Structure 1
Amino acid sequence: MITVADVMKLPSMYGATILAGHAGMSNPVESVTVLEYGWITNTLDELFSKTEFQGNDLIITSFATIADNVEAQCENIRRYQAMGSVGFILFYIGLILPSVDDRVIACCNELDLVLITMPEDIRTHKYSDVIGDIYHAIFKDQQAGSNYVSTLIRRFSNLPAEQRNTGTLLRMLSNHLQASIILTDYKKSISNIVCWPQSLSELLSKDLKKQLQKMQGEQAVKISYDDGAGYLQHCPTLLEGKEGFDLYTFKYNELLSREDLWQASEFVQLYSHIWNKDLGKLVTSELVRAIIDDDPLKMRRLADLFQINVAELNQMWVFDSVDSSEPDLKLLRKCTEYFSGIYKTVLVGYYESNMVIFAHAPKTAGERDAIVQDFINESADSYSNYIVVCCDCLNTTNDAHNAYFDVMQYASYARSIYPQKRVLRPSDVSFASICAKEAACREAQIHYLKIIEDIEATPELLTTLTAYLLDHESSMANTAKALCCHINTIKYRLNAIRDNTGYSPSKPADVYPLLIAVAINRMRNSENE
């Protein structure tokens, strides 16, 4: 990425001086524009009213038409800055422009717009030298960098909020690829079109709809014109389903590479997830998706973009939605605020319809358990429509991948086994997977349910055994408190269970089959409710 600071190092800029806007030196430069007409007239108003954001360009001028009008100079500076310009290079100081007024310097400082002056009273400096030098540097930079998504996203994110829209995004992509960009909606109607160069607008728009229909699944179509041909190409699919969009490129006399098309799609998709409210403002959800999908290339790009060290993320919270298939943005904001106050590093986003939080958790189990307990005490009641699972000790993204899909497959079973637990842990999900597999085998299910068959006729015995083993971690005191009876009553019932089943709830070897039996029984009852 070429910045204003890089431009200042070019040979053609030797002797140039920065008068204002030092804060904008790190802004990227992607084009150069020459300012010729500067009078504040209806003509200038008309020119600006029809001009959209053009990207991060440097303006070269001598203010020749308004050399004696400081107000007009400042007004031009404001208008070009609003269109995305990053700086002005002033030529012929002392020859055409008498001097740089302090009001111009103050205006540029206020806008963080870099103001550069070429050496004064020198006639040999040419616009063409600077323009050629800058474009050569931009071209070399683009050739050297195969991945342009991170650069474009970073530049886009630094724009003022009012400029972060679909039109600006496509213009930025178009300028980089030097190709026209077409975005269609799920009905295949043209939603946005940006032409490069803009002089192709009439030619491209003429038969575009017909050419799009002609593609019919083809990845590229050659369109012949009198003096050459252009190539209409389909980028990889962006968003599936009803709200899906399709992205196309059109480049004159040249095909774009498959890698360029993939990155174009990725750029637009990131925009749709991060900034576009109409498509769901799912901040960093693409990085969450890359981690769970265990996609190292995409993960590396996005982690660099969001400045997150993925290797530190050793804990994952999953909020599995029980009754909704749509992302809940209120939940996203609420959890972002809550967990950001707990963890030093936290990543919040969506994977499909489930919210996922990755965090850098403490090393000790005691500290991690305390965080979970605080969440239960402070916030768990707000998430009754979600199955909440907290997975610890994730050493790799493959661990996160496996943990997430285990949760997706077995969390509902774990919830039916442990209905009182507000936050499930990996051991709960793992035990639920064992029970689900045993229950899926008819012979195994019959075997385990037969163990507790003789106490089903005495409801208080089955209730006590279930509460003792599943809800209160084999604590007689807690079981007695929950069932509102004396601890001696619990002792009596546990002895009665041993007498009737032949299995002792207090012996480790006997506990396992009893656990499986009462868990399968709960799962069965939950299905029948």
Structure 2
Amino acid sequence: MAEGITVKEALDLIVLNGIKVGRVIAGFGGLDNIITSVSVIEVPDATRWYRGNELQITAFYSIKDDVKAQVRVIERIAQCNCSALVLCHTGIFLKEVSQELIDAANYYKLPLILVPAELAYIDIITPVLEAIIDKQKREIEYAFNVQRKMNQIILQGNNIQVLAGSIAKILKCPLLVIDGNNAVLASGCYNSQGDVLLKKVLGDQELCKLLFAADEAMKTLPGTARYSVDIRKLTSAGKYLGKLVLFLDHALSTMENVAVNEACQALKLVLMQEMAKEEEKEKARREFIDELLYGSTPKREDLVLSRAENLNIKVPAPPVVMIIEFESYESLCIKDNRDKGAWDNAVNSFRDKSINIVKAVMVDEKSDCIVVPRGNHVIAIFSVDKEQSDYVKSVKKIGRRIEEILRKDGIVDFVIAFGNQYPLITDIHKSYVEALKTINIARVVFNQTRCVHVTDLGIYYYLPELLTDNGINEYIDSVLSVIEKYDREKEADLLETFKLLLFEDNVVNIADKLYVHRNTLLNRKKKIRQLLGEDPFSHPLKLNYQLVMLFAQLRKNWT
């Protein structure tokens, strides 16, 4: 918003025959009040029409003999943030200015100005309004010129550092541009003293932390007596982009404040452009990593390596894929009926913690890695020493270290799985598919094991392929449907009981898990025998039904 002129400046404009005739008789503490408009008041109770920052003109015609009413006018225009009061035609209507009026003006620091009786209202209104309009015009022109300089820098494709340097020269102060993650994006100074100050600030970690955390201006920059700190937040559409930090050795003038506002607009534009570019790069990097995982990259190794280099991605070689699969908040809500938001936060926290742990362990193992989150998976592409004779032991050692740290959380269940290591990065998808398959099988076969390599599966690795056979699926359905039908009709829990009886021998432990008496469990076992028409708990039939349950669970995981 454009500003006006001060009361002190307005006094120079009140002239008669070329001579300054405005005389301040009270309220000297308000001479720096800003005037943006001029009004005439002759009605005592005109508060509703006051707009603030006005130079009020009056002859007190209607209250020339009422000192108390005159004092109330002073009180009201002061409370409405008016700038000053000019008394006209004194000696004609208002015979004298009372001490009470002077005291009130002094109390409210409202300049009380006397002018000669022969001076007309228009002689005050015209020059003051012309000066205000002229100043506002100059401010607009200045803002336009600053904006044009900023736009030229942006249109010429210069980076944010060049923009920061230009802003520093315009404002004649050192400055920093800090992004939304509290990283210094750019700095600017216009002389050697500013350069020394910036080096001192950036070299002091505690001072940097203070500036990064600060949201408001500082009267004094710690460690200096000369500089204050002005902080301007940079936001766009409600999104925090960063801030402009100015180190000032003087108070900003109106014009300089205009320049700061224009500079902030330019910085926001550049930051938004940079964010958009970075988002595009991140999207391209994400798509490239997904192509590696899904096997949709070109088969030529050199082309893939060249694309990775262009995206500034160092792909570990020879690569191996690790997947950490953790429970989704939906499954946690089903398992434990807590607030959905609480579980969502727990899962997000576990995911972020997993990423940081994987990165830290890989650094400690001196292994290059790429770590990305995908849904309820954290996926790591890494490599182990090519000279290792048994890389499986090496990767499982890494997995057990990660498992040990994650176990301490104890809230979210997880499985860590590894695929094989391959010589080419174009084969990453093979390791990824193996790791994914290993997780699905391990959750069924290795219920208590949290760290599994694909080679640990043995013959189980090939079981899912059998599920493509319609005959096997029909046989599984025929077995399960008998138990499931009984459960529906009797609201029983035979299927879960059947699973536990097939894979555990301790009847007491099974009864505890189902929260039933041992005799109840034995009755259920008897009912299962009756429904199936044979004893599924004795060999060789037991192995048959164990495979049925394994296939049923694998089928559920695959769908």
Question: TM > 0.5 between the two?
Answer: no
- What TM-score do the two structures reach when normalised by structure 2? 0.37
